[in-house]
Structure 1
Amino acid sequence: MNINEINKTGRKIIEVMGLTTPPVAIMLTSNIYRIPESIDKIDNNMSHCQMVNKIREESVQFYAFEENQQCKNGAAVMGMRELNPEFANGNELYNEGHYKDRYLAKETIQQIPKLEPNSVKAIIYGPLNKADFIPDIVLFIGNPENIMQISRGMEQEANSFNCWRNASNY
């Protein structure tokens, strides 16, 4: 799929599903020279989750380096740095009161998919319907019916729309 087809698909998804915000396109890169010149660096620091919401609410594009990621554990999961040992062993979540058992906290963290530490130098974000890049990941945020429709569509069109690209190809 080329960029125009991706944008067209993004517009069609918004229209057909009646989404109020666009799906979020994300590209991971280990090579900063792959960042399109048309996309600016984010102008302030925030967490990955906040960056995703900024795309949904403002329909803008930007890229971010590790130093722009306020949530260092989120940056680590995305392959931008090493995971904090206190987070990796579950102690951070346990000590903050999120879990009553250290073992369960550690098991939860171990189940989170993570990219290789320091393998990603920049993350590029944009609305799927306007992205100037080919995404590695597309985030759909909607109500349960929207997500069910996406799941069913993926089952039916698994060979024609590659939603789950191998993240090692960045």
Structure 2
Amino acid sequence: MNRSPMPPRRTALARGPVKLSRTALARRRSARPNRQQSDLTSGHRQPAQRPQGGRTGSGWPKETRDAVQRRSGGRCEVGLLGTCTGQAANLHHRLPRRMGGTSNPAASTACNALHLCGSGTTGCHGWIEAHRAEALGRGWLLHAGQDPAVEPATIRGRFPVWLTEAGRYVGEAA
């Protein structure tokens, strides 16, 4: 198929700097009353403010994180043979937060936390995420509506114990 050549331009292309119209984003930024213009033009962002309550980026209050680390002694609390690296690296929610977080106050307590090796895809933490049905049976995961303070968890393959809000193990489950 033959195409006809492009017709000549009726107006010449602009030479030199071209003044562009402001974009919608630039209009919204300039409309914000609490930002200084120098912050917008310098390209530097203000550091994010840490949420109230001493929470870390993972959603755990510092007090809870410290209590669980003392409880575990830095060792993985699940200890699966052939999977566990032994060194606890992060905290796991027994009662999942779900997408978008949760307003349930039990979600950020020490009885809802397990100190595990690996990440959500490796080590014991990864195993729990990949084998949710078995993890539910051992108390490493809980269904919505279950209370982590009254549901026991199997710790290091021994026997089920209850986890307290103070960050301790209590008794043997019957």
Q: TM-score range by the shorter chain?
A: under 0.3
Q: Given the two structures, how large is their TM-score scaled by the length of structure 1?
A: 0.22
Flag the structure with larger Rg.
Answer: 2
Higher helix share: 1
Greater length-normalized contact order (CA 8 Å, ≥ 6 residues apart): 1
